[in-house]
Amino acid sequence: MNILKFFTAGSVDDGKSTLIGRLLYDTDSILADQLEAIQNANRKNDDGTVDLAILTDGLRAEREQGITIDVAYKYFQTDKRKFIIADTPGHIQYTRNMVTGASTANLAIILVDARNGVVEQTIRHSYLVSLLGIKHVVVAVNKMDMVDYSETVFDAITQKYKSLAEELKLQDITYIPVSALKGDNIVHQSERMAWYSGDSLLHFLEQVDTDVQEKSEKARLPVQWVIRPQTDELHDYRGYAGRVVSGTFKVNDKITVLPSGASSTISKIEFFDKELDEASSGQSVTIHLATDVDISRGDTIVNSSALPQESKLIEADLCWMDTKALDTSITYLLQHNSKVTKVKIADVVYKVDINTLEKHAADEFKLNDIGRVVLKTADTLALDLYHENKANGSAILIDSRTNLTVGATMFRALAD
Amino acid sequence: MSKYNFDYLDELEAEAIHILREVAGQFEKPALLFSGGKDSITLVRLAEKAFRPGKFPFPLVHIDTGHNFEETIDYRDRMVARLGERLIVGSVQQSIDEGKAVEQKGKNASRNALQTVTLLDTIEKHQFDACIGGARRDEEKARAKERIFSVRDEFGQWDPKRQRPELWNIYNGKIHKGENVRVFPISNWTELDVWNYIRRENIELPSIYFAHDRDVITRNGQLMAASPFVNMDEEDVVERKKVRFRTVGDISCTAAIASEADQIDDIIAEISQSKISERGARMDDKVSEAAMEDRKKGGYF
């Protein structure tokens, strides 16, 4: 059994929270006392049934306004898989929350209201999915009950979306007609849409192959911590602790430490009380080297036969996340895995109108703005490009005056 | 090449270890909040996996309400001895004696809320800049929106509207002097995940998690341990029942459930079928729909 992380994009009226509520409800993932709390709440659907959206609206302000403000994480499992849902708000003013929820997702569900079809926000949500490099997309055409479960309506929306997907270079897309409110094709196959022969949403989520994710084969381990017990028995013990973010390290592999460029050989890979022959993407381990090399937190251990790029000048996509606008005259901090360095935004190349996908010149970058910039870092980064290696191709920006996370960046190219 | 088999527990474990090592790397004076409950016991095992054969880069901190299950304290002391790590105890009784906290009155009085006073005092006294806790997002809906690195102001307050975006696996632990960060490495675990992990790792737990005979009273439809710390009157009828606890908290606000499950396999089977969430046995959450949100804003774990 493995984990599928997905996020849902849709706006206030698309029934996104209802869809998640329905998934939880129909998979028996809502416990009696939670259900009781919902039933006692003062919010019901027009037909008197329980409003499942309340399940995900966790904060008081959200319940009062009937909207989702922040990212809420929900968990459920079937006998096939464990699921982690990032429920994010769909309105343009919460673009940063959507980017946050999408950053860790393997799959995106884009909700389209069957009555309205592909609209401006569908374009926006799909753009964010392509920006964040999410490989699997489900287009859930919701509220089919409001259009008489019409195949014609569904087909028209599918056709329309295909051209958008082409423009955005989205690849693995699955279209499912659903009614979250009535439960059609969410967990159970709907009898009201005999013309649809595909999977229900849950069945699809249970079997979609997440290993197809283009995980980079290039071995990278950002060093988080050096373990040095300095006891009499373990006098010379020196282990480099970190999580393999991509590829596989094996004992006897030749490695290079960046940014110093020093090289050595892996003498031992440890995981607590075990010695391993190899460690792959996702594993948190401790690596020992055959020779003494000066290594500290912030350094990256890489396979010598697959070196990353090194640069202080990087073209990146930036999503601005702070209410205070980007100031190109000041120095920010950039956090790339375990490394933190000073950074300036040397140039704003363009900004994207995320509703129309048009690019235009801009000299200001405000909350929720997305576009291409040039980052100039104080220290050299050992990086990969985002489309090849998400973990080693992404970073956050921190405003050292407020310590807030103010930007998300995805490396797209080295700049000259 | 051998097939590399990395299941969901391995993934959750690796994520938690990564988070613990980020705490070690990013903070000057972190601490691990240890309650004696299964979640913090799981954290201790994860810390061993993250830092052995080295020492933990943080002490264990127990906020002691004074209203404990004896079994928990006994477990705590044996565990600390085995680990050879430092334990700091913050005493709610001391906060009361010093007049910083006031004992609740009445039948349902508990020291649960008073823990916040002692916790904030302990953080201030030791200048902790990060406190690792065993909270999980599946416990409660306000927790579902909490970050893994959750920044608290000088007064320990959580402001849900000013949370930092948390992207990829990058955690921003930068804070101003006086602020601190609560860190939740097992945010993405469910109750069942914790139990499955405890079984897989063969981790010892305090005996109160397993079915045992105990004197209990029934209050508001829930079974409470009959103890000197629970205010009882003539209406309360003490009965001896076979029970176990799903969470370990202040004895005066932690309800037991009737159960025959005295083995971990039985407990996992019971939870898999259970229709009541584990916080359903916490009187402190029953106060209002926003009970947890309000307590977190006030500086609670």
Per-residue pLDDT of chain A (416 residues; tens, 9 = 90+): 889 999 998 866 778 878 888 888 888 776 666 666 666 665 666 666 667 666 655 555 555 555 556 778 888 888 899 999 988 877 777 888 889 899 999 999 999 999 999 998 899 899 999 999 998 999 999 999 999 999 999 999 999 999 999 999 998 999 999 999 899 999 989 999 999 999 999 999 999 987 655 567 899 999 999 999 988 888 889 999 999 999 999 999 999 999 999 999 999 999 999 999 999 999 999 999 999 999 999 999 999 999 999 999 999 999 999 999 999 999 999 999 999 999 999 999 999 998 889 999 988 899 999 999 999 999 999 999 999 999 999 999 999 999 999 999 999 999 97
Residues of B whose CB is below 8 A from A58 = 141-142, 144-145, 293
Contact B289 A284 (CB under 8 A): no
Q: Give yes or no for A227 touching B (CB within 8 A).
A: yes
Residues of B whose CB is below 8 A from A34 = 277
Does this model's pTM top 0.95? My answer is no
Output the CA torsion sign for B206, B185, A242, B126.
negative
Give me the architecture of the B8-193+290-297 domain, per CATH.
3-Layer(aba) Sandwich (3.40)
**CATH topology for A2-212?**
Rossmann fold (3.40.50)
Residues of B whose CB is below 8 A from A93 = none
Q: Any idea where the domains of chain B sit in the sequence?
A: 8-193+290-297, 204-283
Q: Where are the alpha helices (DSSP H) in A41-150?
A: 60-65, 95-103, 120-131
d(CA B76, CA B90): 14
Instruction: Write down the pLDDT at residue B157.
Output: 81
Contact A394 B170 (CB under 8 A): yes
Q: Give yes or no for B289 touching A (CB within 8 A).
A: yes
Number of Cα atoms under 13 Å in the Cβ half of residue A281: 15
Token digits of residue B21: 């090592």
Token digits of residue A132: 């964040």
Contacts across the A-B interface (CB distance below 8 Å): 172
- Least confident range of A325-339, B54-68, B158-172, B269-283: B269-283
Rounded to 5 degrees, φ, ψ at A186 are -90, -65
Q: Give yes or no for A256 touching B (CB within 8 A).
A: no
Of B21, B145, B166, the CB nearest to A58: B145
Q: Are B125 and B100 in contact (CB under 8 A)?
A: no
Instruction: Write down the pLDDT at residue B297.
Output: 63
Instruction: Write down the pLDDT at residue A213.
Output: 52
Q: Which of A396, A398, A409 to mutate to test the interface with B (most CBs of B within 10 A)?
A: A396
d(CA A83, CA A34): 19
CA distance B188 to chain A (A): 8
- Strands B222-225 and B255-258, sheet pairing: antiparallel
Q: Give yes or no for B175 touching A (CB within 8 A).
A: yes
Instruction: Write down the pLDDT at residue B221.
Output: 80
Find the angle CA(B79)-CA(B80)-CA(B83) to the nearest 5 degrees.
85
> Is the model more confident about B235 or about B189?
B189
Q: Give yes or no for B221 touching A (CB within 8 A).
A: no
Q: Looking at domain A309-414, does it have CATH number 2.60.200.20?
A: no
d(CA A242, CA B51): 11
Contact A96 B165 (CB under 8 A): yes
- Least confident range of A197-201, B87-91, B126-130: B87-91
The domain A220-303: what is its CATH number? 2.40.30.10
**Amino acid of residue B28:** E
Confidence of residue B100 (pLDDT cuts 50, 70, 90): confident
Q: Which of B27, B141, B180, B273 to mutate to test the interface with A (most CBs of A within 10 A)?
A: B141
Residues of A whose CB is below 8 A from B145 = 58-59, 70-73
Of B22, B144, B290, the CB nearest to A74: B144
Distances (CA, A) of B227 to A400, B70, B214, B220: 52, 11, 10, 17
d(CA B72, CA B62): 11
d(CA A377, CA A382): 12
Q: Any idea where the domains of chain A sit in the sequence?
A: 2-212, 220-303, 309-414
Per the prediction, chain B carries an average pLDDT of 85
Per-residue pLDDT for B64 more than 90?
no
Q: Give yes or no for A39 touching B (CB within 8 A).
A: no
- CA-based nearest residue in chain A for residue B54: A229
Token digits of residue B147: 């970050």
Query: Would you call the peptide bond into B185 cis, given omega within 30 degrees of 0 as the criterion?
Result: no
Residues of A whose CB is below 8 A from B14 = 243, 282-284
Contact A59 B142 (CB under 8 A): yes
Confidence of residue B183 (pLDDT cuts 50, 70, 90): very high
DSSP class of residue A51 equals -
Q: Which of residues 86-125 of A touch B (CB under 8 A)?
A: 96-97, 99-100, 103-104
Residues of A whose CB is below 8 A from B167 = 99-100, 103-104, 394, 396, 405, 408
Confidence of residue B1 (pLDDT cuts 50, 70, 90): very low
Q: Are A294 and A260 in contact (CB under 8 A)?
A: yes
Shared fold status for A220-303 and A309-414: yes
DSSP string, chain B: -------HHHHHHHHHHHHHHHHHHH-SSEEEE--SSHHHHHHHHHHHHHHTTSPPSS-EEEEE-S---HHHHHHHHHHHHHHT--EEEEEHHHHHHTTSS----STT--STTTHHHHHHHHHHHHT-SEEE----GGG-TTGGG--SEEEE-TT----GGGPPP--TT-------TT-EEEE-TTTT--HHHHHHHHHHHT----GGGS-EEEEEEEETTEEEE--TTS---TT---EEEEEEESS---TTTBEEEE----SHHHHHHHHHH--S-GGGGBGGGSS-TTHHHHHHHTT--
Q: Which of residues 48-77 of B touch A (CB under 8 A)?
A: 48-55, 57
Residues of A whose CB is below 8 A from B15 = 284
Q: How many CB atoms lie within 10 A of CB A158?
A: 16
Instruction: Write down the pLDDT at residue B174.
Output: 96
Q: Give yes or no for B274 touching A (CB within 8 A).
A: yes
Helix/strand number for chain A, H first, E second = 7, 22
